[in-house]
Amino acid sequence: MACSSRADSQAAGGSGSATSNVPPYALPRHAPPHAAHFSQKARHRLAALAVLAALITGCSHRAAPLAASGGIGVLSCQDAAGQQPADPEARPVNGVESFALHGDTNTGDTLPAWKSRDGHRYLVWKVFLAVAATARPYRNVTVISPATAALFYASPARWGAVSDSKTIGPPPRRIRLPACGRQFTGYTGGILIIHPGCVTLAVSGPASKAVTVTVPILVSRC
């Protein structure tokens, strides 16, 4: 029995394995003695119902494309945009690089606006991040300041869908990006801000100290 696929517009939660319980078939309180003995045919029918219930329950629970763990947006290698060599014009920060980390100091520029389901309106500064192979197993990118800024990263397909709808769930302030190949692993996403300003990020890994970088977005300097 094949399970149908299901799209998820926003991943804010982790996935879990589904279990099913078949409701007990209780006898009447004053049942006659022979009622306690099911025929072999009846037992086979109950077993078939249990298997069918398990299959239906399993098909109705799908893992979200973006898992969240303690407020961290966790991406997998399947979410990556692909492999690429180092970019000589990118700004490197502790195993992660992007040209967009230089920021945008043109105060006259305009950015696309998204709305989160918790009522916030964000300006989106797209930052394609590439994680070096030497940064294994992953790098965490965390917003240090301002308190109103957040991050959104997803697979290219999901990024495109969200860009069209311009609506997201409450975004995290930390993301985890794995290093997956022999070159740099690229991830589509961006920094979300309420208003123009300087955003400070920290890049860290399990075996490295955090290194910070400040990104000007629609301000002349930081």
From start to end of 10-54, where are the E strands?
Answer: none
Nearest to 139 by CA among 99, 185, 191, 84: 185
How far is Cα 94 from Cα 205, in angstroms, rounded to an integer? 9
Q: How many CA atoms lie within 13 A of 104 on its CB side?
A: 19
| Cβ atoms of residues 50 and 22 within 8 Å | yes
* pLDDT tens digits, one per residue of 129-145: 999 999 999 999 999 99
Find the helix or strand (DSSP H, E) in which 164 lies: helix 156-165
* pLDDT tens digits, one per residue of 98-137: 999 999 999 999 999 999 998 999 999 999 999 999 999 9
215 vs 44, more confident? 215
Question: Model-level pTM?
Answer: 0.69
